[in-house]
Structure 1
Amino acid sequence: MKNYLRFIATVILTISGQSVLGQKETLNQFWNEYAFTHNISENWVAELDGGLTSSGVPDDNNIFYGITQFSVRAWIHYYPGDRWKLSFFYAYYYNKNVPELNQNKAPEYRFALQATYNLFKNRRININLRARFEDRNIENEHGIFEAVERFRFQGRAVYPINNVKIVKKTLYAFVSDELYFKTKSEISGKEFFDRNRATIGLGYKASKDFQVEISYANEYLPRPSSDKIYNALQVNVTFENIFYNPAKKVVRKEAAVDDGAPSGGGG
Structure 2
Amino acid sequence: MRIGYCQTKTYGQSWNEIQFNNTINEKWSTELDLANSYSSTESSSNIFQNNIQRSFRGWGHYYLSPRWKLSTFLAYYDNKDVPEIGQFKSPEWRFALQGIYYFHKTGYTLSTRARIELRHMRNGDDDYENVLRYRQQIKYIKPLNSKILREGVFYAIASDEIFFKSGTKVTGLSFFDRNRFNLGGGYLFTDDIQLELTYANEYLPRDNENQIVNAAALTLTFNNLLENLNKKIHHKPESNANED
The two structures have a TM-score, normalised by structure 2, of 0.88
Shift in Å, 1:125: 1.3
Scaled by the length of structure 1, the TM-score of the pair is 0.81
* Residues 149/42 of structure 1: CA separation in 2 closer, same or farther (3 Å cut): same
Task: Give the alignment partner of residue 115 of structure 1, picking from 83, 96, 99.
Answer: 99
2:13–2:39 Cα contact (<8 Å) kept: yes
Structure 1 residue 144 displacement after superposition: 2.6
Does 2:67 align with 1:78?
Answer: no
* Shift, 1:105, TM fit: 1.5
Pairwise CA distance, 1:123? 1.8
Aligned to 1:131: 114
Q: Check whether the contact 1:102–1:187 (CA below 8 A) recurs between aligned residues.
A: no
Q: 1:48 to 1:219 in 2, by over 3 A?
A: same
Name the residue aligned to 1:93.
Answer: 77
Q: Distance in 2 between matches of 1:33 and 1:192?
A: 28
Q: Does 1:155 align with 2:138?
A: yes
State the alpha-carbon separation in 1 of the partners of residues 87 and 151 from structure 2: 45
Q: 2:166 maps to which residue? A: 183
Larger Rg: 2
Instruction: Supply the AA of the counterpart residue of 2:96.
Output: A
Task: Spell out the pairing of 1:192-211 with structure 2 (5 A cutoff).
Answer: 192-211=175-194
What is the match of residue 174 of structure 1?
157
Counterpart in the other structure of 1:36? 20
Corresponding letter in the other structure for 2:214: N
CA distance in 2, matches of 1:44, 1:236: 22
Which residue of the other structure, out of 52, 61, 66, is the alignment partner of 1:68?
52
Residue 187 of structure 1 aligns to a residue in which SS? coil
Which amino acid is 2:108 matched to?
I
CA distance in 1, matches of 2:82, 2:131: 15
Instruction: Tell me, in whole angstroms, the C-alpha distance in 2 between the residues paired with 1:231 and 1:51.
Output: 17
Equivalent AA in structure 2 for residue 134 of structure 1: E
Shift of 1:142: 3.9
Which consecutive segments of 4 or more residues in structure 1 shift more than 2 A? 140-144, 223-226, 245-248
1:229 is matched by which residue type in structure 2?
I
Give the aligned partner of residue 234 of structure 1: 217
After TM superposition, give the deviation of residue 158 of structure 1 in Å: 0.6
CA distance in 1, matches of 2:111, 2:206: 29
Residue type at the aligned position of 2:162: L
What displacement does 1:106 show? 1.1
- Aligned sequence identity (%): 42
What letter is aligned with 1:62?
N
Q: In the aligned structure 1, how far is the partner of 2:218 from the partner of 2:125?
A: 35
Tell me the CA shift for residue 226 of structure 1.
2.5
The answer to whether structure 1 residue 27 and structure 2 residue 11 are counterparts is yes
Q: What secondary structure, in the 3-state scheme, does the structure 1 residue paired with 2:189 have?
A: strand
Q: Tell me, which stretches of 5 or more residues in structure 2 are unaligned?
A: 232-244
8 A Cα contact 1:102 1:188, kept in partner = no
The amino acid of 1:226's aligned partner reads E
Shift of 1:225: 2.6
- Between the aligned partners of 2:35 and 2:128, the Cα distance in structure 1 is 22
1:36 offset after TM fit, Å? 0.3
**Post-superposition offset of 1:23:** 3.0
Richer in strand (by share) = 2
Aligned-pair CA distance for 1:122: 4.1
Could you say what secondary structure the match of 2:226 adopts?
coil
Which structure 1 residue ranges, 5 or more long, are not aligned? Answer: 1-20, 249-267
